[in-house]
Amino acid sequence: MKTIYVDNNATTSVAPEVYEAMVPFLTEDYFNPSSMYEASRTAADTIEEARKTVSKSLRAGNPKQILFTSCASESNNTAIFGVAKANPKKKHIVTTAVEHPAVLDVCKDMARSGYEVTFLPVDSSGNLDVVNFVRAIRPDTLLVTIMHANNETGVVFPIENLSRLVKETHPEIVFHTDATQSVGKLPIDLSGNFKHVDLLSFSGHKMHAPKGVGALFIRKGTPCRPLLIGGHQEGGRRAGTENVAFIAGLAKACELAQKHIGDEERVAALRDRLENALVEKVPYLEVNGAGAPRLPNTLNIAAHYIEGEGILHELSEHGICASSGSACTSGSLEPSHVMQAMGVPFTAMHGSVRFSLSRYTTEEEVDQIIEVFPHIVEGLRKASPYWDSVNNKPREDGLMA
Amino acid sequence: MPWEYSEKTKTLFMDAIHGKPGTHLGEIEDPDGMGEHGSIACGDAMRFTFRVEKDENDPTKDVITEAKYLTFGCTSAIASSEALCSLIEKGSYTPIDALKITNKDIVDYLEGLPAQKIHCSVMGAEALEAAVFDWAKRRGVNLSELGVELPAVEEQEGRIVCECFSITEPYLKRKIQELELKTIPEVTDALKAGGGCSSCHHAPGGLQDVINEVWGTEEAVQVATEASTATASDEKAPASPYQFGKSVEKALNDYVRPMLQADGGDVELVDIKDYLVYVRLRGACASCVGAEATLRSMVELNLKNQVDQRIRAIAV
């Protein structure tokens, strides 16, 4: 059975070109880039070239502002803990209720150690209220950390506007954004639309580089202390021997993403095709985040009256790889914090499924999902005590709520 | 991580959903016993119905001949329901004898369940109990006279310990004893209690206290609670002096807005923090290429002249 991979917000396949770019550093060019002998020069040069490539792809200006890390979670941890360490007197952080755990849980940890954290709510479409945001900013605010695009729903926050609002009134407040889901999918210009952003995190494996490499953009002059100490690497901002092969892979992935940014329109068209067909074929289906600007590749839907894990199980039987915000899939007993923050109706809260496409997704694959999905929902609804299969609608004697 | 379901669990799930003959998905019309457990808000729920071959002289000798279920829940919840029905039909039990089927029997039938999924099997056993209670009522059988205790039915009432999943103290106590649950994680896996906000874990009268009470532990095992000091999201900025706000509002209404409105635009006051006046340009102004100039020359300048030179206008 052919695998249909539509879980690209979880991870992506490694692009063949990326793999090619990495191989030399896993074979003959294995030298430590910090060594003195001539043989290590290629490794050292490769890292600096990669820095330039990554910097160029984000129009970041001076490549020294790019710090290579092991993943976006490390980048996020470095940004938040690093800024706090550099400004020990300020104790207020602004973030949102729907961040990835690599920001949300770090902020909760900060709250436990004496920081005051404002978690901004979102509306039922997943949008932030700008007025709420403005009110949350205070003279003693240390850091604003708000994601660019949400990993579960694909909802895009107006980082351009939010960062401008902060910098126009309080240039000393540090603005961080976790752009893990948007780099390579949306235009990011650190000298243009993102010129007010001080720190930006992302990772390789969401953009067809392998797992285990990420980056943090640190705008020159931003107070941020290192998280990993004990080495001179990365200008003393991150200790640890550089992962040369993976850094080369990340650079190649950034280059490819630039080259393929036009494909995002095609991806969006495929996503819309999937969305429209499912909405048409499946009654009582919610599109989470439909009322907000969204990533071109993400579709998060919730089928009322059934549970998401069973859907995933059956999709998997058809070779379709997707994910769910259902409690049952996460090992926790509560549904996703994003669905809860959006106030998704409780009859649909447990039935959410996320399809996330990539530039490698084909029309045939999308059509295959359109073919299979409605039957899966129908089958599970037949088993549901809340669904009247004869009349194809919710049961009126609804059972306990 | 993919769930580590046994082949048996996966097969039962797929067979049930695809209506393979011999599976038990559905609902018996005019059943002799009907029981429900769980709720959609909590993530799993089950409606269990059975039919009996009635014994004309002695209802306690009724034999269950058919059992069906409707279940909202994950793979293992549906497989557990299927297991329960199979066990019952195979055993030709009387309803009272069927009560001997425990969640452990269901887990064994499924050839094991991941620890976090044990609550799925518990749900089956609870729904069965409720259905037997219903049968007894319909058939005029006095269960307590027969020495059959059906605590679950009465335990709907009682002090709620876990608010997230509406789990009561009497129910918790009985289940902790029955399933020999010794720690909070065990309680959560089996009963879901404490699996939500976790605020009941170490609260007075919370899970740890209930566990201690059941097992007679003198000293509570104190684990540091996750005290969240995070504040609510509607944190208000320091209030601006009322008079200042009023002046800004007046200046906007008297001078700025009439001018903008003449051009098909408008401005709305959003917030004031010290001398920062946040506004939202409306109508024609919102999309105007000269919005920045409008903001500075019309809005900000007027506010400066009318109210205070230190004012800065910020477009939201």
pLDDT, tens digit (0-9, with 9 covering 90-100), for A222-237: 999 999 999 999 999 9
The pLDDT of B69-94, averaged and rounded, is 93
Does A262-394 match A16-259 at the fold level? no
pLDDT at residue A256, as a whole number: 97
Give the distance, in angstroms, between the CA of residue A199 and the centroid of all CA atoms in the same chain. Answer: 15
Distance CA A95, CA A117 (A): 7
Percent of chain B at pLDDT > 90 equals: 40
A331-379 pLDDT, tens digit per residue, is 666 788 999 999 998 888 888 999 999 999 999 999 999 999 999 999 9
* Tokens of residue A32, six digits: 């430590």
A10-47 pLDDT, tens digit per residue, is 999 999 999 999 999 999 999 999 999 999 999 999 99
Nearest to B314 among A165, A310, A400 (CB): A165
CB neighbour class for B100 (10 Å; exposed up to 12, middle 13-18, buried from 19): exposed
Say which residues have a Cβ less than 8 Å from residue A201's Cβ, sequence separation at least 6: A72, A75, A76, A79, A176, A177, A178, A179, A180, A214, A215, A216, A217
pLDDT at residue B240, as a whole number: 60
Nearest to A134 by CA among A108, A161, A172, A107: A161
B101 to B80, B83, B122, B148: CA distances (angstroms): 12, 11, 11, 14
DSSP string, A374-385: HHHHHHHHHH-T
Class of CATH domain B7-147: alpha beta
| Residue A390 in contact with partner chain B when CB distance is under 8 A | no
pLDDT at residue B223, as a whole number: 41
Nearest to A244 by CA among A210, A196, A293: A210
Beta carbons within 10 angstroms of residue A223's beta carbon: 15
Residues of chain B with CATH 3.90.1010.10: 7-147
DSSP string, B63-126: EEEEEEEEEES-HHHHHHHHHHHHHHHHHT--HHHHTT--HHHHHHHTT---GGGHHHHHHHHH
Token pair 């195979």 in the structure block, residue: B90
Superfamily of domain A262-394 in CATH is Aspartate Aminotransferase, domain 1 (3.90.1150.10)
pLDDT at residue B292, as a whole number: 80
Average pLDDT of every residue of chain B: 85
The pLDDT of B96-125, averaged and rounded, is 90
Q: With beta carbons under 8 A apart, name residues in chain A contacting B278.
A: 131, 134
| Min distance A217 CA to chain B CA atoms (Å) | 26
> By the 8 A CB rule, do B61 and B91 touch?
no
Percent of chain A at pLDDT > 70 equals: 97
Q: With beta carbons under 8 A apart, name residues in chain B contacting A335.
A: 43
A8 to A117, A292, A303, B120: CA distances (angstroms): 31, 20, 21, 30
pLDDT band at A139 (very low <50, low <70, confident <90, very high): very high
The pLDDT of B40-56, averaged and rounded, is 90
pLDDT at residue A332, as a whole number: 66
**pTM recorded for the entire structure:** 0.83
Whether residue B187 has pLDDT greater than 60:
yes
Q: With beta carbons under 8 A apart, name residues in chain B contacting A331.
A: 1, 116
Whether residue A326 has pLDDT greater than 90:
no
Distance CA A339, CA A324 (A): 11
Nearest to B8 by CA among B68, B66, B70, B87: B87
* Tokens of residue B173, six digits: 């106590």
| Min distance B43 CA to chain A CA atoms (Å) | 6
Nearest to B188 among A119, A333, A349 (CB): A333
Whether residue B235 has pLDDT greater than 50:
no
| Residue A10 in contact with partner chain B when CB distance is under 8 A | no
Question: 3-class DSSP state for residue A72?
Answer: helix
* Tokens of residue B50, six digits: 């059975």
The pLDDT of A245-254, averaged and rounded, is 98
DSSP class of B158? S
Residues, chain B, total? 316
> By the 8 A CB rule, do A233 and A242 touch?
yes
Nearest to A389 by CA among A276, A305, A290, A333: A305
Backbone angles phi, psi at A75, to 5 degrees: -60, -45
A79-88 pLDDT, tens digit per residue, is 999 999 999 9
Whether residue A329 has pLDDT greater than 70:
no
- Residue type at position B72: F
**H or E segment to which residue B261 belongs:** helix B257-262
Contact state of B116 with A326 under an 8 Å Cβ cutoff: no
Identify which has the larger pLDDT, B33 or A328: B33
Q: Rg (Cα) of chain B, in Å, rounded? A: 32
- Residue type at position B232: A
ipTM for the assembly: 0.79
Distance CA A306, CA A313 (A): 13
B28 to A219, B68, B85, B159: CA distances (angstroms): 67, 6, 12, 34
Backbone angles phi, psi at B258, to 5 degrees: -55, -40
pLDDT at residue B230, as a whole number: 40
Average pLDDT of every residue of chain A: 94
Distance CA A17, CA A23 (A): 10
Backbone angles phi, psi at A329, to 5 degrees: -90, -15
DSSP class of B231? B
Nearest to B186 by CA among B166, B163, B157, B215: B215
Contact state of A134 with B16 under an 8 Å Cβ cutoff: no
Identify which has the larger pLDDT, A395 or A204: A204
Q: With beta carbons under 8 A apart, name residues in chain A contacting B116.
A: 331
pLDDT band at A245 (very low <50, low <70, confident <90, very high): very high
pLDDT band at B228 (very low <50, low <70, confident <90, very high): very low
**H or E segment to which residue A107 belongs:** helix A101-112
Q: With beta carbons under 8 A apart, name residues in chain B contacting A120.
A: 233
- Residue type at position A144: V
- Residue type at position A3: T
Whether residue A68 has pLDDT greater than 80:
yes
Backbone angles phi, psi at B104, to 5 degrees: -70, -35
- To the nearest 10°, report the CA torsion of A359, A363, A366, A368: -140
Whether residue B238 has pLDDT greater than 70:
no
Whether residue A399 has pLDDT greater than 70:
no
Identify which has the larger pLDDT, A155 or B251: A155
Residues of chain B with CATH 3.30.300.130: 242-315
The pLDDT of B219-223, averaged and rounded, is 42
Domain regions of chain A by residue span: 16-259, 262-394
Strands B44-53 and B33-39: antiparallel
Whether residue B295 has pLDDT greater than 90:
no
Helices of type H across B140-226: 151-154, 169-178, 184-191, 207-215
The second-level CATH assignment, the architecture, of A16-259 is 3-Layer(aba) Sandwich (3.40)
Distance CA B27, CA A20 (A): 58
pLDDT at residue A353, as a whole number: 95
Token pair 């269960």 in the structure block, residue: B143
Whether domain B160-215 has CATH 1.10.3720: no
Residues of chain B with CATH 1.10.10: 160-215
| Residue A67 in contact with partner chain B when CB distance is under 8 A | no
Angle of CA points B56, B61, B66, to nearest 5°? 95
Whether domain B242-315 has CATH 1.10.4030.10: no
Beta carbons within 10 angstroms of residue B157's beta carbon: 10
> By the 8 A CB rule, do A342 and A123 touch?
yes
- Out of A194-208, B82-96, B200-214, pick the least confident: B200-214
pLDDT at residue B222, as a whole number: 41
Whether residue B68 has pLDDT greater than 80:
yes
**H or E segment to which residue B129 belongs:** helix B118-139
B36 to A22, B149, B246: CA distances (angstroms): 57, 18, 59
Whether residue B34 has pLDDT greater than 50:
yes
Whether residue B291 has pLDDT greater than 70:
yes
Contact state of A132 with B47 under an 8 Å Cβ cutoff: no
Maximum Cα interatomic distance, chain B, rounded to a whole number of Å: 98
pLDDT at residue B220, as a whole number: 41
| B233, B236, B295, best to mutate vs chain A, most A CBs in 10 Å | B233
B126-136 pLDDT, tens digit per residue, is 899 999 999 99
| Active site amino acids of B | 42, 120
Strands A116-120 and A92-96: parallel
